[in-house]
Amino acid sequence: MKKLLLIPILLLRLITQSALLALNQIWVNKTRSILTTLGIIIGVSSVSAVIAAMSGMNNKIMENFETFGTKKIFLWPQRPDSGSKKNLDWWQIRFKEEEFEDMLEYCPSVEFRSFVSDGRNLPARADDTTVEAVRLNGVETHWFDIENREIMMGRPFSHLDETQGRKVCIISKQLRDKLKMDRECLGQTITFGHHMFLVVGLLEEKPGMMFDEGNRDNLEAYIPFKTMRKINNNRWFSVIASCKSTDVAEEAKAEIQFFLRRTRKIRPGEPDTFRVMVMENEIKQVMKVFGMISMVAFGIVSISLLVGGVGIMNIMLVSVSERTREIGLRKAVGARPSAILTQFLVEAVVLCLIGGCIGLFLGHGLAVTISKVVPMMESTRIPLWAVLLSFGFSALVGIVFGMFPAIKAARLNPIDALRHE
């Protein structure tokens, strides 16, 4: 029983002894060892950098979707690819307001809905300041809920604004500043084109998105949908909605489809004359593609680890053959085959772990550089699991590729080894 307890202690001692011996051996052949582990170094550094970049990008994409809104549903008219309505012109398939009247009642998974009359660029003027082109959008008041845009000052559109099509607007901070208006701009007026609007609300700044940072100056102005209809001949509009939670995104889509087919009187079997796009689905799609890219990248860099392993095996074979006399001597004074096996195996593992350490260090440097250079990957860093994985993989490479040379050394006959030139 006592002997059984001693085994792990002895094993631990054997391994520490071998590790010290291995470090000594590696230190003696510094240059060669570093060159040997180059494969492992490159492998581990690229693997960890790729993982870091991928997880950084993953976070960023998720963050962006989060900001953009994962619950959004987009609706727009679209000519079907087939069927009798294939050749209808846009006028015939356009949305009509009355088609959406009872939508929220019939679609229990849908939370909000807003018509969107897509923007027109109009010159804007406040007092003496003019801005060439401002994007004027006609929306309903729930648009701000769906887009998650907070009105930091003033109020949203009121019922009266909407039903009567009053000339009120909600503008962005950037537009206010560009027009050199007072900070407290509520109650002042802006002229868009030939129409004068009362400013009733000021929008909170739009959170930055992945691909449009800096290149749009967010000169936005929103007016009630009805108002837009009055000042604009354009009868075309789309609809934006939101589902109650991302879990019911699919249901919401089905409900809307069913509802719209009924209100638009599309007979069974005929294709839709509109499109419903659920953000949640798009996210899933993107994440799937992203996951596939990660796997491919990971696979490619794993090959370099394999190549690194072959390098380790090669150098261990060299090490065994040039130290054959030493092995012989060690055996002559009483080293068991298992001791020799452990010695060379541990040496290979230590070599790989050193390579893994340097590789992680370089990988970290690479990740930091990426995060500094590429703005959309600023949260790039090596996750803990990747660090552990790298060490695990390095050790595994050491064991797998060190095993053959170690067995070769352990099997040597003492006298044959001693006589080796």
Partner 1 sequence: MIQQSNKPVIRIKNLTRTYKIGTESVHALRGVDLEVCQNEYVAVMGHSGSGKSTLMNLLGCLDMANAGEYELNGIMTTRMSAASLAHVRNQQIGFVFQSFELLPRMTAQKNVELPLIYSEMPFWKRRKLAKQALERVGLGARIDHKPNQLSGGEKQRVAVARALVSSPSILLADEPTGNLDSKTSASIMQLFEQLYAEGQTIIMVTHESDIAAHARRVVRMRDGQIVSDLPIEQDPVNTHNQGPEEAPQ
Residues interacting with partner 1, by CB under 8 A? 10, 13, 17, 24, 28, 325-326, 329-339, 413-415, 418
Name the residue nearer to partner 1 (CB basis): 69 or 414. Answer: 414
Using a 10 angstrom Cβ sphere, with 0-12 exposed, 13-18 middle and 19 or more buried, the burial of residue 30 is exposed
Give the nearest distance from C-beta 348 to partner 1 in angstroms: 19
Q: Smallest distance, Å, CB 324 to partner 1?
A: 12
DSSP letter at 86 equals G
Q: Which is nearer to partner 1, 149 or 330 (CB)?
A: 330
CB of 398 to partner 1, least distance (A): 23
Nearer to partner 1, 17 or 67 (CB): 17
Select 20 or 160, whichever has its Cβ closest to partner 1: 20
Task: Write out the two tokens for 406.
Answer: 């170690």
Cα 379 from Cα 53, distance rounded (Å): 9
Rg, C-alpha atoms of the chain: 34
Smaller CB distance to partner 1: residue 333 or 384? 333
Determine contact, residues 354/33, Cβ cutoff 8 Å. Answer: yes
Nearer to partner 1, 269 or 334 (CB): 334
Side chain identity at residue 181, one-letter code:
M
In the bound state with partner 1, the residue whose beta carbon lies nearer, of 17 and 302, is 17
Residue 1 beta carbon to partner 1: minimum distance, rounded to whole angstroms: 19
Please, what sign has the CA dihedral across residues 228, 230, 234, 238?
positive
395 within 8 A of 67, measured Cβ to Cβ: no
Distance, in Å, from the CA atom of 379 to the CA atom of 59, rounded to the nearest integer, reads 8
The percent of the chain in helix, strand and coil, each rounded to the nearest 5, is 60, 15, 25
Q: CB of 312: closest distance to partner 1 in angstroms?
A: 22
Which residues are 224's β-sheet partners? 139
Torsion of the alpha carbons at 72, 74, 75 and 80, rounded to the nearest 10: -130
Nearest to 51 by CA among 387, 391, 382: 382
Residue 372 Cβ vs partner 1, minimum distance, rounded to whole Å: 45
Pick between residue 31 and residue 215 the one whose CB is nearest to partner 1.
31
CB of 413: closest distance to partner 1 in angstroms? Answer: 7
CB contact set of 130 (below 8 Å; sequence gap of 6+): 123, 124
Angle in degrees, CA 314, 312, 47, rounded to 5: 140
E strand segments, 127-237: 129-139, 151-154, 168-172, 189-192, 195-203, 220-224
Q: How far is the CB of 414 from partner 1 (least distance, A)?
A: 5
